[in-house]
Amino acid sequence: MPQYLSTSDRDFEAAFTALLGMKREDAPEVDEAVAAIIADVRARGDAALIELTVRFDRLELTPDRLCFSPGEIEAECAKVPLAEAEALALAAARIRAYHQRQLPRDESWTDDQGATLGWRWTPVSAAGLYVPGGLASYPSSVLMNAIPARVAGVERLEIACPTPGGEVNPLVILAARLSGVDRIWRIGGAQAIAALAYGTETIAPVDKITGPGNAWVAAAKRRVFGRVGIDMIAGPSEILVIADASADPDWIALDMLSQAEHDASAQAILVTPDADFAKAVVAALEARLTTLERREIAGASWRDNGAVIVTRDLDEAAVLSNRVAPEHLELCTEDPEALAGKITHAGAIFLGQWTPEAIGDYVGGPNHVLPTARSARFSSGLSTLEFLKRTTLAKMTPEALRAIGPAAEVLAVSESLQAHGLSVRARLERLNRG
């Protein structure tokens, strides 16, 4: 049964703390197997990749078949029906427009001492994007990962996408082409992450790897972190909806189910000051649930991880939401902007009843790769910034060095770093000699 809590319950704090601490995902222990796969790909390159692809994806490849050819890409794209192709193009354009606004500016200024300071942003040279095969092979995720990389100016963009038994989702290929990806590799799992991080005879190594994946992919990303940059390790999806009686219970129910249908470990939480409204949402949700294709998954998610919390007022709802730090937060209240002002931790906020979370998954513009498992307390969703890095710049004039160098020398000496002090002192002495 989903949990029903009220902040007026005597044991509310304990129950809410338990809800916060819930571990929704039991990742299988694959770390040792993953370490062996990575070592194998590092040692034997393409040969290992090809053997592992037979083993895991039941697919026989040769080095020149590892990569989709331009003709194959063309043929897959041609299979996409017009409505889907147009929808993907609209999504790509909106995601691109949003992420272009995220491009940060370089800065440079000269301070009162004459020191010129600043910073400069430069793109990562090459990025690899992992795209799961099978059921979770989402073209929208291709757009959400590849477009920010391209907007950032990443020069080389590789996709790894397993094609179990040779099957591929044509929309994934079209999404890759719309995003300007350079190459698509028919590889998956830990072996694909190893190939992207270390390179093989045919695959050039990248500097940053992003994209979702199963436990094997996640373990491999953790292992290659440091050698390359990675994005977050995403957990199961989650939504928290704060709603009042101004919202339509059926719409809220559908928004909650659109998280629940992702995965049995997904979580949907309703927080409302209105107990009757809460009942209406639950009734609508259970009615809709029976009609869904994915009713087993969504039902398990709702039963095991769902929650409804009745609060005294909307302020209290905001406080609880901030403690959850949800990945997705819908504010379906009369004045969503006022409520948004009280939100301190959330991956993405959807304001008002005309903004179902699903809009953000596809065509809103903001990224749908967002921090899960309460990590919105300290991290952000994917953005253009994740494919850029900042280099700080400093230039002293002789006058600036005369003004601030002595303090640096004092601190260097206090830290017993004599050469640090001497590197300043030698220059100051030249100045003093005139």
Which secondary structure element, helix H or strand E, spans residue 110, and what is its range?
strand 107-110
Near a copy of itself by CB under 8 A, which window of 25-33, 37-45, 309-317, 394-402?
394-402
Is the separation of the CB atoms in 41 and 198 below 8 Å? yes
10 Å Cβ neighbour count for 2?
20
Dihedral class, residue 119 (left if φ above 0, else alpha if ψ from -120 to 50, else beta): beta
Residue 31 binds a copy of itself, judged by CB under 8 A: no
Give the DSSP letter of residue 208: E
Is the separation of the CB atoms in 277 and 310 below 8 Å? no
> Binding a copy of itself by CB under 8 A: which of 23, 32, 64, 135?
135
> Binding a copy of itself by CB under 8 A: which of 65, 79, 342, 427?
427
> Binding a copy of itself by CB under 8 A: which of 29, 74, 86, 296?
86
Kindly report the backbone phi and psi dihedral angles of residue 153, in degrees, each rounded to the nearest multiple of 5, phi listed first.
Answer: 105, 15
**Rounded-to-integer distance, Cα 113 and Cα 400, Å:** 5
In the window 250-269, what residues touch a copy of itself (CB under 8 A)? Answer: 250-251, 254-255, 257-258, 260-262
> Binding a copy of itself by CB under 8 A: which of 19, 34, 48, 88?
88
In the window 183-212, what residues touch a copy of itself (CB under 8 A)? Answer: 207-208
Kindly report the backbone phi and psi dihedral angles of residue 106, in degrees, each rounded to the nearest multiple of 5, phi listed first.
Answer: -75, 155
327: annotated active-site residue:
yes
Q: Please pick, among 76, 238, 261, 328, the residue that the annotation labels catalytic.
A: 328
> Binding a copy of itself by CB under 8 A: which of 164, 180, 199, 356?
356
Nearer to a copy of itself, 69 or 125 (CB): 125
3-state secondary structure of 409: helix
Q: How many helices (H) and strands (E) does the chain have?
A: 17, 14
- Give me the DSSP letters along 376-388: GGT-----GGGGE
In the window 269-328, what residues touch a copy of itself (CB under 8 A)? Answer: 288, 292-294, 298
**Rounded-to-integer distance, Cα 314 and Cα 7, Å:** 12
Nearer to a copy of itself, 49 or 376 (CB): 376
Nearer to a copy of itself, 58 or 395 (CB): 395
Residue 97 binds a copy of itself, judged by CB under 8 A: yes
Binding site for substrate, by residue number, is 237, 259, 262, 328, 361, 415, 420
Residue 107 binds a copy of itself, judged by CB under 8 A: yes
* Smallest separation, CB 365 to a copy of itself (Å): 5
Residues annotated as catalytic (active site), given as ranges: 327-328
